Amino acid sequence: MPKHASALVVALLLTAATSPQAASAQTAVAQLPGPAQPARVSTGLVTIESDQQRADQLTGVITATGNVRIVYPDERVVATARQAQYFSKENRVVLSGDVDIVQEGGNLIRAERVVYLVDGERMIAIPPAGEQVFSRVRIQQTPIQQTPVQQAPAAQPAAAPAPASAPAAQP
């Protein structure tokens, strides 16, 4: 499997965990904006650990199975699952089996299966049978900065009317 294919798989998997557009009813998690962060340099470094990894060039499916752990430092995300798959023809990523996606700062989603539709930037989390998806999102509100009310310049006193001049005498 080419190195760029592995990086692509992980980037897509982790984008699912951090996409701000990932909101859809009760089965999705929205990433809420937090406080301003210092500028970060994107390294593109992603680490995938699993018992086995394989790619099928005919079907376009890349699969990591067994104790899958994905670390994406650029987005401060760690995802774990029993299996991770990237379906390149559908541009879809699937994490399955005890899925945990954790982002530094406290954001978390726990499900049996998470499907990320890359083109639509949508994530769907599916719970185990008879259970619910669990998500925790830290809402960090930025205080509203109030600008001082500007006062209008003080009104200038009205000038007294000019005295009426006496009518000029007629000769």
**For 58-67, what is each residue's pLDDT tens digit?**
999 999 999 9
CB 97 within 8 A of CB 82: yes
Task: Please tell me the predicted confidence (pLDDT) of residue 3.
Answer: 40
Residue 72, both tokens = 């994406």
Given a cut of 50, whether residue 14 has pLDDT beyond it is no
Quote the CA–CA distance of 157 and 168 in Å, as a whole number.
31
Highest mean pLDDT among 30-34, 53-57, 89-93, 113-117: 53-57
Give the CATH number of domain 3-32+43-136.
2.60.450
The answer to whether the pTM exceeds 0.75 is no
With cut-offs at 50, 70 and 90, classify the pLDDT of residue 116.
confident
CB 115 within 8 A of CB 123: yes
**What type of residue is 146?**
Q
Strands 107-117 and 134-136: antiparallel
Quote the CA–CA distance of 58 and 131 in Å, as a whole number.
36
Given a cut of 70, whether residue 102 has pLDDT beyond it is yes
Domain boundaries, the chain: 3-32+43-136
Helix, strand, coil percentages for the chain (3-state, nearest 5):
15, 35, 50
Which residue has better confidence, 102 or 37?
A: 102
Task: Please tell me the predicted confidence (pLDDT) of residue 151.
Answer: 62
